[in-house]
Amino acid sequence: VLVVARPALAQIYPSHPITIIVPFAAGGPSDAVARILGERMKRSLGEVLLVENVTGAAGSIGVGRAVRAKPDGYTVSFGHLGTHVANGAIYKLGYDLVADLEPVVLLPSNPMIIVSKKDVPAKSLKELLAWLKSRPQPPTAGTAGAGSGSHIAGLYFEKVSGIKLQYVPYRGTGPALNDLVAGQIDIIVDQTSNSINQVRAGTIRAYAVTDTKRVESAPDIPTVDEAGLAGLHMTLWSGLWVPKGTPEEIVARLNAAAVEAMSDPAVKKQLEDLGLQIPPKDQLTPEALGAWQKAEIAKWWPIIKAANVKVD
């Protein structure tokens, strides 16, 4: 009897398209990074990476879908500080963000940016804060749901500015930004990568970025320290994970393809134009993402639990 040894899964991987689950709506910052990198990763993997937007509950629905997928390398979970750290302190997820996932690679990060609808009569952050304080009702801030990066940034903004916000949750900050441009909501503390092109187009106003240095591709936007909200420092990092049990050769293939994509000069420029910073080489191993996620859980869970975040 001729027994043909089935080639190990990893040797023929990938043999069909790979799905990247983005847990927020199309058109937002998560979606943008996943599509930019997915497009370039196809070149080294030889198979298309299809972005599937699975939204809801600040991304925890989409992450749950990825956690329960087969550990065969054909379902990849895109996420960030909100989905793979904060949500664990807010929702009864039904899965464990560390035990049920394998880290693949840390992806680009960016500072948040304080933006308002165009017709706010403020030319500086100080004037914006005065305008927000003068509102008869708490001003509205768009988010991607309780626990999302934009929501955590909003909580941080409230804490440092002393201004109470009324949160308006969306399926991502892509849709939230549409409403800001339309003047339906007052502000977003958004990912710079999401809002920066609308700022450049003049359809919304920008006041500061939540970093200690200005964004190279947006040098005219002051830092929070320069603009008068010292200490509101927050960068939103992102990453890729796969279900626990995925063979490590497959994790290594996905990691190598993502690292190659982030070192491609054209991709690097596209990301940096959006205010995104690519992690240093020594932060690009699967272990580095695993250690980073655990450290961020240790840092943020006490803060988030103390904030007693209400799940809408």
Asked whether position 24 contacts ligand MLT by CB under 6 A, the answer is: yes
Q: Which stretch binds ligand MLT (CB under 6 A): 104-112, 171-179, 216-224, 289-297?
A: 171-179
Interface residue with ligand MLT among 18, 20, 29, 254 (CB under 6 A) is: 29
Asked whether position 28 contacts ligand MLT by CB under 6 A, the answer is: yes
Asked if omega into 175 is within 30° of 0 (cis), the reply is no
Interface residue with ligand MLT among 41, 90, 144, 165 (CB under 6 A) is: 144
By beta-carbon proximity to ligand MLT, the closer residue of 84 and 253 is 84
Q: Is the dihedral of CA 142, 148, 153, 156 positive or negative?
A: positive
Q: Which stretch binds ligand MLT (CB under 6 A): 8-16, 147-155, 276-284, 294-302?
A: 147-155
Cβ(125)–Cβ(207) under 8 Å?
yes
Residue 62 Cβ, how far from ligand MLT at the closest point, in Å? 11
Q: Which stretch binds ligand MLT (CB under 6 A): 22-30, 245-253, 283-291, 302-310?
A: 22-30
β partners of residue 76: 20
Q: Whole-angstrom distance between the N-terminal and C-terminal Cα of the chain?
A: 62
Backbone angles phi, psi at 19, to 5 degrees: -100, 130
Residue 199 Cβ, how far from ligand MLT at the closest point, in Å? 17
Closest CA to 194 of 258, 263, 249, 114: 114
Interface residue with ligand MLT among 38, 174, 243, 275 (CB under 6 A) is: 174
Count how many residues are written for the chain: 312
Q: Which stretch binds ligand MLT (CB under 6 A): 94-102, 166-174, 251-259, 274-282?
A: 166-174
Q: Is the dihedral of CA 21, 26, 30, 35 positive or negative?
A: positive
Closest CA to 185 of 154, 159, 230, 221: 154
By beta-carbon proximity to ligand MLT, the closer residue of 35 and 118 is 35
Backbone angles phi, psi at 5, to 5 degrees: -65, 125
Interface residues toward ligand MLT, by CB under 6 A:
24-25, 28-30, 82, 144, 148-150, 172-174, 191
